[in-house]
Amino acid sequence: MQHDATLKVDNLTVDLLTSKTAVRPVDGVSYSVRKGECLAIVGESGSGKTVMNFAPLGLMPAGVSTELSGSVKFNGRELIGLEDGELRHIRGKSIGFIFQDPMSALNPVRRIGRQIAEMAELHLGLSPSAAEARALELIKLVGIPDPEARLRQYPHELSGGLRQRVVIAIALAGEPKLLIADEPTTALDVTVQAQILRLLKDLRKRLDMAMILITHDMGVVASSADDIVVMYAARAVERGPVEEVLTQPRHPYTRALINAIPKSSDTVGTRFRGLSGMPPILGAPNPGCAFAPRCDLAVAECRHTRPLMSQATHSTVRFACPIANTESEIHGTGTCS
């Protein structure tokens, strides 16, 4: 089951070192995604979900040195340890990227047609005119009306939703096997969000791609993803099929996260059920469970021993909380509240 994974990440740890600071935004995370499937990675801001996907592919800002350990296999090929020159051939060609803010992700002074076509020139070896034709095809594929005119326009002449479609067209131009979408709908308004998600789902099925969807929106997860990884403070806390994790969250953090979503049964004036406390600072090493200070179930042991991911009883879900795991064994089910 795991050997045919498009992307298989094992025990990935990322350290970011600047001249003054060192942080570990990703700490021993494992997951995988198969062809045609969508994996959602959720977690709050700063939980490491973006770095986890960008760092192994060399997409980190200049001036930060990145140290990686563990294994990231793309179609069986190990990415960790590759030179940037080799990673470049994978970026864009085999793996496409969609970014959070389409307003700034496109170059403001270059025509949209060129920004799509250069991908086809670079990765498919097309001539400039053939690449333009390919750009036109792609722009039709992502459902942009009046495609010929759009190719000659500049990004500022398009709405946010259309720009995000252009970003998607760019990501698809190299005919990738894997699409990594970093909060693709966060900067868009709600009606456009739904359109973009539908488009992504449709394209994934049609082009038989694997997709990683980085988000903090549980609604997006429920409608789009097959599997889910929940991140907290650089670590994965729970991983499994979406329908199980969302309906029967096992890890205390996942439970609190899902419990925090406002329900239609809430009476008017009900306070938001947020999590008390603050997420930990990543610079300080933590020998125990990172969630322990905010956890209702925490015992003294939680602060000293790091909980490992282990399989839940009667389920394919894996999560990192021995306390909740034994508890569910006693009660026979993983449901909470």
Binding site for other proteins (CB under 8 A): 58-59, 61-63, 88-93, 96-97, 99, 101, 104-110, 118-119, 122-123, 154, 156-157, 167, 170-171, 174
Taking the least distance from each CB to other proteins, the nearer of 114 and 306 is 114
In the complex, minimum distance from the CB of residue 180 to other proteins, in angstroms, rounded to a whole number? 9
In the complex, minimum distance from the CB of residue 308 to other proteins, in angstroms, rounded to a whole number? 33
In the complex, minimum distance from the CB of residue 92 to other proteins, in angstroms, rounded to a whole number? 3
Taking the least distance from each CB to other proteins, the nearer of 210 and 237 is 210
Give the CA angle between residues 240, 211, 1 to the nearest 5°.
50
In the complex, minimum distance from the CB of residue 176 to other proteins, in angstroms, rounded to a whole number? 10
The answer to whether the CB of 224 falls within 8 A of the CB of 197 is: yes
Taking the least distance from each CB to other proteins, the nearer of 118 and 226 is 118
In the complex, minimum distance from the CB of residue 182 to other proteins, in angstroms, rounded to a whole number? 10
Taking the least distance from each CB to other proteins, the nearer of 59 and 192 is 59
Taking the least distance from each CB to other proteins, the nearer of 69 and 104 is 104
In the complex, minimum distance from the CB of residue 59 to other proteins, in angstroms, rounded to a whole number? 6
Taking the least distance from each CB to other proteins, the nearer of 104 and 127 is 104
Taking the least distance from each CB to other proteins, the nearer of 118 and 137 is 118
In the complex, minimum distance from the CB of residue 19 to other proteins, in angstroms, rounded to a whole number? 10
In the complex, minimum distance from the CB of residue 55 to other proteins, in angstroms, rounded to a whole number? 13
What is the 3-class SS of the chain, one letter each residue?
Answer: CCCCEEEEEEEEEEEEECCCCEEEEEEEEEEEEECCCEEEEECCCCCCHHHHHHHHHCCCCCCCEEEEEEEEEECCEECCCCCHHHHHHHECCCEEEECCCHHHHCCCCCCHHHHHHHHHHHHHCCCHHHHHHHHHHHHHHCCCCCHHHHHCCCHHHCCHHHHHHHHHHHHHCCCCCEEEEECCCCCCCHHHHHHHHHHHHHHHHHHCCEEEEEECCHHHHHHHCCEEEEEECCEEEEEEEHHHHHHCCCCHHHHHHHHCCCCCCCCCCCCCCCCCCCCCCCCCCCCCCCCHHHCCCCCHHHHCCCCCCEECCCCCCEECCHHHHHHHHHHCCCCCC
Taking the least distance from each CB to other proteins, the nearer of 99 and 291 is 99
